[in-house]
Amino acid sequence: IKTQLPIELRPFWNTNQDWEKVRIWLTNLSQSHLGLSLQKNYNDQKLEREKPFEIKLNGGLVLAGIRDLLWKDNEGVHIIDYKTSSPDTTVYPLYQEQMHFYGLAARLQYPEHPVQIALYYIKENLLQIIKNLPSEDEMISRVYLVARKAASQGDFQPGTDNCPSCPWKRDCSLYLGNQ
């Protein structure tokens, strides 16, 4: 069962108390409009879960990642990213940029379909649709800007300044080692 859970929920598998919370969250999702839609798309074999993607841009830069959920229907391509954190204005810009990146990759992968992106906060059973996806040209410019900045700074050196609000701290060996 653990391997069937979204990556974000797997750490909760370890204790009975945490597992009871996960059961409630998943029950709420399964009974929601989103959950019923996901079940239908899964049954119709249209749902891609945690599927890696890799898209080469002109100039050689490669967009790579893993989207939590993607499906196509007559309305377009839908991408949803699970979040186990609560909706928080301090990390929302990071999540929004991540989803813009996924949206760009989907636009390049499925140019004939409109793309819709959203965050799903598991604990709150809250779907947050992200509107106004930037243009393809604007997103490609952002990607190249980030790549140039990263390349100019050399090897990434992790730090602990942002650990308390970091959405990836549960998976970070530096954070876990400093507790």
pLDDT 10s digits, 78-134: 999 988 888 887 888 889 989 999 999 999 999 999 999 999 998 899 999 999 888
The pLDDT of residue 2 is 58
The predicted pLDDT at position 14 comes to 64
b/e sequence 19-47, b meaning 16+ C-beta within 10 Å: eeebeebbeebeeeebbeebeebeeeeeb
Considering the segment(s) 46-146+163-177 as one domain, its CATH architecture is: Alpha-Beta Complex (3.90)
Residue 64 or residue 165, greater confidence:
64
Q: If you average pLDDT over residues 156-176, what whole number do you get? A: 72
Q: Where are the domains of the chain?
A: 46-146+163-177
Question: Model pTM?
Answer: 0.74
Q: How far is CA 103 from CA 111, 114, 119, in A?
A: 11, 10, 12
Question: Tokens in use for 76?
Answer: 């377009």
Q: In this structure, are residues 83 and 96 in contact, taking their beta carbons and an 8 Å threshold?
A: no
Q: At what angle do helices 16-31 and 33-43 cross, to 10 degrees?
A: 80
Q: 22, 9 in Cβ contact below 8 A? A: yes
* Residue 8 · residue 80 · CB < 8 Å: no
The answer to whether residues 175 and 160 touch, using CB atoms and an 8 Å cutoff, is: yes
